[in-house]
Structure 1
Amino acid sequence: TYAIGILTTVFTAFTFTRMLVAIWLRRARPKELPRAPVTFIPPGTKIPFMGIRRWTFALSSVLSILSVVGFLTIDINYGIDFKGGSMIEVQSKQGDADLGDIRSRLSELNIGEIQVQQFGAPNDVLIRVGTQDAGENAEQTVIDKVRGELQDQYDFRRVEVVGPTVSGELAKQGTIAMLIALVGILLYVWFRFEWQFAVGAIVATVHDVVMTIGFFVISGLEFNQSSLAAILTIIGYSLNDTIVVYDRVREDLRKYKKMPLPQLLNNAINETLSRTTLTSVTTSLALLALVLFGGEVIRSFTLAMLFGVVFGTYSSIFIAAPLLILFKLRPQSATAEETKTANGKAVTT
């Protein structure tokens, strides 16, 4: 679905949107592009982002270390996609479901780890039972026990079983997909830019992945296949944000050949800040609506995405761009004349 959305967006941008802009240009013949009545970033904004790069590097390093330590020392809440087990969705026949009663009754069955939670409507319940070690028919036996205990008061709407072998294969495939995505990013950015840009994009992307995993560890959200899809989507979003900044940096490198790199990066980020902010805000609003009204099924996906959008925007500004200074993309100093010229050229887009 996400791939189809990207393809249709690109197609629309190159055809329908282009046609509308061409019609407007032919009819209005504007001398300059009109500005919206409300802008997130005022024209001529000059925020010294590079001046605090050491603080942001330190903050990101601490948070990354805490995320890794938390992942290694705290058991992440894996869903049955990765852990194996049974997932049963039931609906109360009369009135709201009593979670405490369900939990108490199932605990008496001695079927191992049990998780009971409300699932959407007050009368819907999702029951998770951990994987069983008593043989190949153990999962079905557990389902039959649960059905026998609850079927008088509840309708069984869905039953899913994932064995340990399948869950291990899913985890392996998910890890491979993530590594392939990172390698693809490295090759693409290296081909399009210079090696400093490629390494900077990879570091920023890995930073976002580590932060998101840390978010799952701290929040206790269930980590399932949709969570993995969220991480892969965050990788794409973060890369897109980073490429926007890098593209403007590359343009300014050609335009101001002797400008100090920190000042050039500040100009490039400020010039693209309006676009970056607008994209982040609109995406976050859509995700917030899904968090509030999307239901329990996609909650881990939407919360992870919301978190990732914020950190993806942060990393493109405070990680990806400052790394170009660390990698000495341009060690030269600028002449006073060119520096003065550049300061007057920053335009918010």
Structure 2
Amino acid sequence: MYVGTGAFDVVGKRKYWYFFFTILILVCLASIIFRGFNLGIDFKGGTRISMPDEGTGGRISTEQVTEIFNDTLHKEPAAVQTVGSGDSTTIQIKSETLTTAEVADLKKALFDDLQPVGQDGQPSERAISDSAVSASWGGEISRQALIALGVFLVLVTIFLAFYFERWMAVAALAALVHDVLVTAGVYSIVGFEVTPATVIGLLTILGFSLYDTVVVFDKVKENTRGLLGLTRRTYAEAANLALNQTLMRSINTSLIAVLPVLGLLIVGVGLLGVGTLQDLALVQLTGIIAGALSSIALATPILVDLKMREPKFKEQARRVYARRENIARKAAERDGDLVPQYDADGDLTVGAPATDEDSLETELRQERAMAAASSVPTRNPKAAEQRRRPAGKQTGRPAGKHGGRPSGKKRH
């Protein structure tokens, strides 16, 4: 995996991957349509009540506040969480829109039972504040987010179409749509509250997902340069080789990106109790995992299917299969075994190779090993310079019939 010579046949098994991603997307879409999202009060409007977490009887817990809310108003709050750290820690209550009388009753019950202290250290009902949140503000955030998403997709399409090609742009956008749908679907299935921080995190993961896909496509472009004039491997095989060569880079990039997100969850939520960091970290964690999976197992297989629709790549694949049949036929004639035959996808249908390691597979493995070795910089620059010199100039003596190398014969 590290040297890029792995034999994970991701592209060859793309039908199984398509089935997996189709089921995943359908489940997410069904949850989004029928279950919907758990929108925060920033999107649907409501009432927010804040109070210090310190009372005359000690620290105030969210469980105490939730119980008082239920007993006073006979309904459940949307959320009760601790916000901030140190002396500025407060308890925040979010609920559906409350009437003026309900707010007054709740504030009185909270003060009577918990006795929250103000900045002067004395119990005060004024330490409990309330505010109304309008749904129009959340709607404005959603509208601006959709505009930003549309502009981002247009610019990405133009960039990929000019830097790579149109089919790579289409495949990258398909993987991007998958990441957005899966992340949104996970939020709908699990029931995480959707806040403005969630929208920000969703826009953030788009760039990460695209970066990972571009890295793979750049290697595909390198491996397929001049492919139409060669008969060593098909476009699908060259693309699969690129996936294996960039596999560890994709895994390491995703792992490094997940570590700070986990830090946000552990430190920001577990230690500081900051709800905004939780919303931001959850959407990023989901998006990074979905983006890493789609860049490896979805974007490149889609690209291969789109490219193989072109007649020139179909003809090149036909010549590759013909060459392989010719090699296998010669080997079978030499060993007296059956002649292998291949279908349109390059799969063996009739006959069997004479040995477990036929000449073609050995040749392809040697090519991959040589490609990996050439991509690793040498640790001896002097030796590398000598290898680049013409024969006979390495030792200062003219090249003989052995190319300037010693003949191995002793001189007496």
| CA contact 1:83–1:131 (8 Å) conserved in 2 | no
Give the number of the structure whose alpha-carbon radius of gyration is greater. 2
Q: Which runs of 5+ in 1 are unaligned?
A: 1-39, 133-137
* Residue of structure 2 in register with 1:48 after alignment: 9
Cα pair distance change 1:174/1:146, threshold 3 Å: farther
| CA contact 1:97–1:124 (8 Å) conserved in 2 | no
Query: How far apart in 1 are the matches of 2:104 and 2:147?
Result: 36
| CA contact 2:66–2:80 (8 Å) conserved in 1 | no
Query: How far apart in 2 are the matches of 1:158 and 1:255?
Result: 70
| CA contact 2:227–2:235 (8 Å) conserved in 1 | no
Q: Which residue of 194, 203, 207 maps to 1:236?
A: 207
| CA contact 1:102–1:116 (8 Å) conserved in 2 | no
The letter for the 1-side match of 2:293 is: Y
What is the deviation of 1:210? 0.3
Which deviates further from its counterpart, 101-110 or 272-281? Answer: 101-110
* Residue of structure 2 in register with 1:294 after alignment: 268
* Residue of structure 2 in register with 1:119 after alignment: 82
* Residue of structure 1 in register with 2:142 after alignment: 171
* Residue of structure 2 in register with 1:193 after alignment: 164
Query: How far apart in 2 are the matches of 1:44 and 1:325?
Result: 20
* Residue of structure 1 in register with 2:252 after alignment: 278
Q: 1:150-183, CA deviations, whole angstroms, 9 ceiling, x for partnerless residues?
A: 2462365875542122222222222222222222
Query: How far apart in 1 are the matches of 2:299 and 2:65?
Result: 50
Query: How far apart in 2 are the matches of 1:48 and 1:298?
Result: 39
Are residues 1:211 and 2:182 paired? Answer: yes
Query: How far apart in 2 are the matches of 1:157 and 1:262?
Result: 65
Query: How far apart in 2 are the matches of 1:163 and 1:182?
Result: 30
Q: 1:294-336, CA deviations, whole angstroms, 9 ceiling, x for partnerless residues?
A: 1232112212211211110110111110001221254322355
The letter for the 1-side match of 2:42 is: D
Query: How far apart in 2 are the matches of 1:345 and 1:323?
Result: 28
The letter for the 1-side match of 2:66 is: R
Root-mean-square deviation over aligned CA pairs: 2.9
- Point out which structure has higher relative CO (alpha carbons under 8 A, 6+ apart): 1
Q: Which residue of 107, 113, 118 maps to 1:147?
A: 107
Query: How far apart in 2 are the matches of 1:67 and 1:233?
Result: 20
Are residues 1:324 and 2:349 paired? Answer: no
Query: How far apart in 2 are the matches of 1:343 and 1:142?
Result: 72
The letter for the 1-side match of 2:7 is: K
Query: How far apart in 2 are the matches of 1:164 and 1:141?
Result: 21
The letter for the 2-side match of 1:241 is: D
Are residues 1:308 and 2:269 paired? Answer: no
Query: How far apart in 2 are the matches of 1:319 and 1:203?
Result: 8
| CA contact 1:270–1:346 (8 Å) conserved in 2 | no
Cα pair distance change 1:224/1:250, threshold 3 Å: same
What is the deviation of 1:142? 5.7
What is the deviation of 1:184? 2.1
The SS at the match of 2:80 is strand
Query: How far apart in 2 are the matches of 1:142 and 1:232?
Result: 38
* Residue of structure 1 in register with 2:22 after alignment: 61
Percent identity over paired residues: 28
- TM normalised by structure 2 equals 0.66
Cα pair distance change 1:162/1:69, threshold 3 Å: same
- TM normalised by structure 1 equals 0.77
Q: 1:91-142, CA deviations, whole angstroms, 9 ceiling, x for partnerless residues?
A: 322333243442343345549762243326798533102135xxxxx5x776
* Residue of structure 1 in register with 2:383 after alignment: none
Query: How far apart in 2 are the matches of 1:180 and 1:113?
Result: 40
The letter for the 1-side match of 2:26 is: I
What is the deviation of 1:49? 1.3
| CA contact 1:112–1:129 (8 Å) conserved in 2 | no
The letter for the 1-side match of 2:186 is: F
Query: How far apart in 2 are the matches of 1:283 and 1:160?
Result: 37
Are residues 1:129 and 2:95 paired? Answer: yes
The letter for the 1-side match of 2:45 is: G
| CA contact 2:65–2:80 (8 Å) conserved in 1 | no
Query: How far apart in 2 are the matches of 1:158 and 1:254?
Result: 66
Cα pair distance change 1:197/1:158, threshold 3 Å: farther
Q: Which residue of 232, 240, 250 maps to 1:266?
A: 240
